[in-house]
Structure 1
Amino acid sequence: MASLRLTFTVVTTIVIACMHFPTTLAVTSYVVGGAKGWSMPQNPNHYEAWTKGKKFIKGDHFYWVIKERKYNVGEVSSKEAYDTCNTTAVIPPVFDVDGFFSVLYKVKIYYFICTIHCSKGMKVAIDIKES
């Protein structure tokens, strides 16, 4: 009878632990913008189209592949700054190196722009959900 209780306790502990793991195990890695990475889009709505249909969650990894140093990426502080490409609202640092990644942990909409080419469509809004 004691081993039955121990087995029940162990199984219950494992089940409860597994209930908490799916959000951790469901983390996905993305190359921002898809195969071409962070570069001048052919279509001004390229990055908006890239986010469509994707469900971004807390802890997802975002790889920023910047192949040319004439591009950069920085987060701006608001939707208004994003919509108007307001480079004075960029939250430092601004990255212009090939191959860095960020992990987004807060549930919110992150707004990223290229401080040089934002008005040509180099901007992306990433909406992070709980899970």
Structure 2
Amino acid sequence: METSKVFVLLFLLSTFHFLVATCIQFEVGGKSGWEVPKSKDDYNQWASTNRFKVNDTVHFSYKEDSVMVVTEDEYDKCHSARPIFFNNNGNTEYKLARPGLFYFISGVKGHCPRGQKMIIKVLEPASPPQPSIDSQKKNGAAAMAAAVSSATVMLCVVSFLAVFLF
């Protein structure tokens, strides 16, 4: 097999992967990391300026602390005896696996009441507009084609090119 064909195929596959699976890793606290903030609302202000999607991750860097995912009630109380998630290894990564609200607090006594807590809202996945039944009846094949996702189209194109190149 020619080297140029391999490179073309690898490029197309990597482009397809990028278009389909673009997840972002967010660094909580930036360079300073996960620590008691200067202002009680620093983390929530930071979270509100970002757009979190399903399968994005949040990364926490810290020394002598911990990260807990808790319920809304535990978040409000700044305490959890049984967190949904707990880690204290100094390098925590948490995958936002569903849409909705995630409540994070520090597990170190006194840190949460001083503002080391955060709410992240993960957006619902965008779904392509679905054609109505009337539209499908009127437009037939055109309406059905509109329902095909871009990922399916890209997969077909990559498959065709792979067959064509080999």
TM-score range, shorter chain: 0.7 to 0.9
The 5 Å alignment of 1:29-108 reads: 29-66=25-62, 68-69=63-64, 71-76=65-70, 78-92=71-85, 94-108=86-100
Count of equivalent residues = 109
Structure 2 vs 1, CA of residues 43 and 24 (structure 1 numbering), >3 Å: closer, same or farther? same
- Aligned partner of 1:24 in structure 2 is 21
Matched AA of 1:82: Y
| Between structures 1 and 2, the one with greater strand share | 1
How many Å separate the matches in 2 of 1:48 and 1:100? Answer: 18
Q: Check the 8 A contact 1:81/1:89 in 2, yes or no.
A: no
- SS, match of residue 84 in structure 2: strand
Identity %: 25
Cα distance per residue 1:36-57 (max 9 Å; x no partner): 1111111111101111221100
Contact 2:60 2:93 in 1 (8 A): yes
Query: Taking structure 2 as the reference length, what is the TM-score of the superposition?
Result: 0.59
Distance in 2, Cα, partners of 1:99 & 1:28: 17
TM value normalised by structure 1: 0.73
CA RMSD of aligned residues (A): 2.1
Q: By percentage of residues, which structure has more helix?
A: 2
User: Quick one: distance in 1 between partners of 2:124 and 2:47?
Assistant: 17
Unaligned runs of 5+ in 2: 1-15, 126-166
